[in-house]
Structure 1
């Protein structure tokens, strides 16, 4: 908030005092909380871990409302909370109808909620969730520098630092490249913050479609969306010279194959049937074919990585592609990335386990384990992943039913539920990529915010604290 206030003062946008007040209130509450809890043991076990993660995100979202309320940028509490939790969960769904009219300080704060949430998710996925025995990163626990035992391990700090350097480095690199490609420095910073967090908040009403006449900008964002959707541990391996470990990683190969295959399918259909804008920037190079495949590639990566940037309204391309992109909302990027969704690793292991069931049916006495990266995956992890998938789909159905009960049509209800739970951003129907969530009823916004939190924190983290036995003393 202090950084946003300084930027606000630099641009003289009129919101400096308001953002500063929000920062002061937040810091005072934090200092009082630290003073009150100074005598408590600094020991975190499983129960405390669940509470810290869930309530940490909620408290951040509550405090993050203050700049919007104090400045009057979003005077309604429901709308301000929706925008904030959408930011921290890196969903990117918005209720703002005129983004470009907002003060620069507020725009930066909006992007910073993405960036802070994205870094939190990396540390959560790599360091915290394996400690709690959930999430997709148990498989990396032995390879990545991380925790061990029932208490927070000192190596978590080392893990967080290394990932922080990579995260910051990517952000700085994208900012420089976007500036060189023709963006203003302010826009470049905001879009880099939103890209690396796979958030999707833009400083323009048209999102990245604002730069449809500058393909180079969109290609730069494509590259960094791909990196943000890749496991950040693999980036660490690559930077330390262990490139072979990256190339041999099953999830990375499947992730790349999915994006390549989905782009070919959608790009071919867009080229033949859809009407997409053709750039007047070097038209001899950036013609109709290039434009079609660029928009297809951009939207495939934006949806798969749950970034949510848009260069065109994919729901208007063809009915097939509308259903196609709806399906991609359930994919998600890699485990250990900033992307949301179910994650490629879970899909991969579910498919492998399903195929092996045919062999187990034929050879009832044989022990045929699921393997990942040539290592046996424990039954506990396989059951965890199957349980996650079933619970995810059940929550999607319940989410859509609630939105339908609130008056949304079928397409909008399923789109809004899938987008919120998967932290995607754009949805279908009345919540399509060129509109937003502003017309949702107040309860619908709170409900979608709840789905965002569930999806962002891997379902179990939030739901387990709602069970009565969680609070019983053992």
Structure 2
């Protein structure tokens, strides 16, 4: 591993984090809530660290797979640790472990929180909380590549290690331009939602922070009761639509811009995502009506649509406490936590494309039993998938369940009920945020021990960067010079 190159690129990454703190600094200066110094000190600390790392001169600028994984793994841990400083220095979160949890949850777009009283926090802190969603949603390293092409030759290795999904393709030949296109689409979607929420009657500041959380599929709200605080049908509809849109592969929006509408609608992962989403909404809607949870079809559809979109896109906003719903509805929501959004989106979970590949691979295995001499390939969008990709998807399922199981065992030492224990690990690993029972939409993660909060923080980072970069660091072979 080229350690000097890794450290220098971490310095470039910290430059972007320092820049991303400036909007929160400005807002803290405008509202004068007493959090200005915490942002200023954090920016100074990060700037000094970045200058030290940038002074390192690597022998080679080529980034190889091992270097890319190291940059991504250490980068996400580093930005989460430093991103916790404003929370801690402003005393909004007195415990650094809690601040690290909140920061990790923000950057990984999980939206799990240890805060029970949110509305009294300074405006700058609340904005930083939501802005971490927006920065982490598309990927802070993808943002770094877009802003600073000097990351070096082989930046594709970084993008592959950070971007969600089994396959990462460039939209155009130049990677830097690909990153800029993705962030341009991301920015335009955010601005459009801000505009629509303002028209719907939400205050400008509220519209900005909730749009950052929606498009980044994060879910940190500035209200204790989340989106339910506004009790507005139009606001619910707007956020529901944008949560669904944010769970779709952003590369598909580029196809629309290029006029390739047929390719968009024929994309198999998109169709699977919309199908699962629609079926889940209808099942829960009818279940809510049968259980007399809501009296009218329209009301049941409104609340089921919002909660299903929030869970499947891994956003985590809430307009209802689904802990009060039936077991049937809660089981569907738990299943959606596993599935998540599409590859190339800001959503979490295992991703629809992996389930698509998994089920097609399973079908081929059954066909080989019937016709042993038959040749079967997994095809996605009429293109054959190579054996390595299919194998990697199957391995990903095994590693995901292994991490999930280990997480459940560690968290079980808290002595919580089984629903809280299992769903808390699932919600953090899939970057959902709220689970069920004590960590449901009306609860939080404050009751867990410091060990559990650190475990959750690492699990959130593992889930956000698709497991491999962190797990690979544990292999002795990773550290050997070949």
Query: Is 1:251 aligned to 2:259, yes or no?
Result: no
- 1:207-286 paired onto structure 2 within 5 Å: 207-212=226-231, 214-276=232-294
Given that residues 122 and 336 in structure 1 are in contact (C-alpha distance below 8 angstroms), is that contact kept between their aligned partners in structure 2? no
Q: CA deviation at 1:249?
A: 0.5
Query: 1:198-237: CA deviations, max 9, x gaps?
Result: 100001000111122x110011111111111000000111
User: TM-score scaled by structure 1?
Assistant: 0.92
Query: Is 1:86 aligned to 2:94, yes or no?
Result: no
Query: Is 1:136 aligned to 2:165, yes or no?
Result: yes
Return the match for 2:375 from 360, 367, 383: 367
Structure 1 residues 40, 118: closer, same or farther in 2, change over 3 A? farther
> Which stretches in structure 2 are left out of the alignment for 5+ residues?
1-20, 146-154
Return the match for 1:442 from 439, 450, 453: 450
Q: Secondary structure at the match of 1:101?
A: coil
- 1:2-401 paired onto structure 2 within 5 Å: 2-35=22-55, 37-120=56-139, 123=142, 127-128=156-157, 131=160, 136-138=165-167, 141=169, 144-145=171-172, 155-212=174-231, 214-276=232-294, 288-401=296-409
Query: 1:367-424: CA deviations, max 9, x gaps?
Result: 1111110111111111100110111112212211211123222111101111011000
Given that residues 83 and 94 in structure 1 are in contact (C-alpha distance below 8 angstroms), is that contact kept between their aligned partners in structure 2? yes
Name the counterpart of 1:279: none
Distance 1:168 1:298 in 2: 23
Distance 1:424 1:49 in 2: 26
Q: CA deviation at 1:66?
A: 1.1
Q: CA deviation at 1:11?
A: 1.3
Query: 1:54-90: CA deviations, max 9, x gaps?
Result: 1111110111011111111111011000000000100
Distance 1:38 1:208 in 2: 49
Given that residues 131 and 212 in structure 2 are in contact (C-alpha distance below 8 angstroms), is that contact kept between their aligned partners in structure 1? yes
Distance 1:238 1:315 in 2: 39
Distance 1:207 1:191 in 2: 10
Aligned-residue Cα RMSD (Å) equals 1.9
Distance 2:339 2:141 in 1: 18
Q: CA deviation at 1:135?
A: 5.8
User: TM-score scaled by structure 2?
Assistant: 0.90
Given that residues 92 and 200 in structure 1 are in contact (C-alpha distance below 8 angstroms), is that contact kept between their aligned partners in structure 2? yes
Query: 1:298-322: CA deviations, max 9, x gaps?
Result: 1111111111111111121111112
Q: Secondary structure at the match of 2:355?
A: helix
Aligned residues: 452
Distance 2:163 2:230 in 1: 40
Distance 2:190 2:471 in 1: 33
Given that residues 396 and 417 in structure 1 are in contact (C-alpha distance below 8 angstroms), is that contact kept between their aligned partners in structure 2? yes
Structure 1 runs (4+) deviating above 6 angstroms are none
Q: CA deviation at 1:137?
A: 4.3
Q: CA deviation at 1:24?
A: 1.6
Q: Secondary structure at the match of 1:99?
A: coil
Q: Secondary structure at the match of 2:79?
A: helix
Structure 1 residues 58, 415: closer, same or farther in 2, change over 3 A? same
Distance 1:455 1:21 in 2: 30
Given that residues 141 and 159 in structure 2 are in contact (C-alpha distance below 8 angstroms), is that contact kept between their aligned partners in structure 1? no
Q: Secondary structure at the match of 2:290?
A: helix
Distance 1:357 1:39 in 2: 48
Name the counterpart of 1:426: 434
Q: Secondary structure at the match of 1:381?
A: helix
Q: CA deviation at 1:240?
A: 2.1
Query: 1:283-307: CA deviations, max 9, x gaps?
Result: xxxx832111011011111111111
Structure 1 residues 243, 309: closer, same or farther in 2, change over 3 A? same
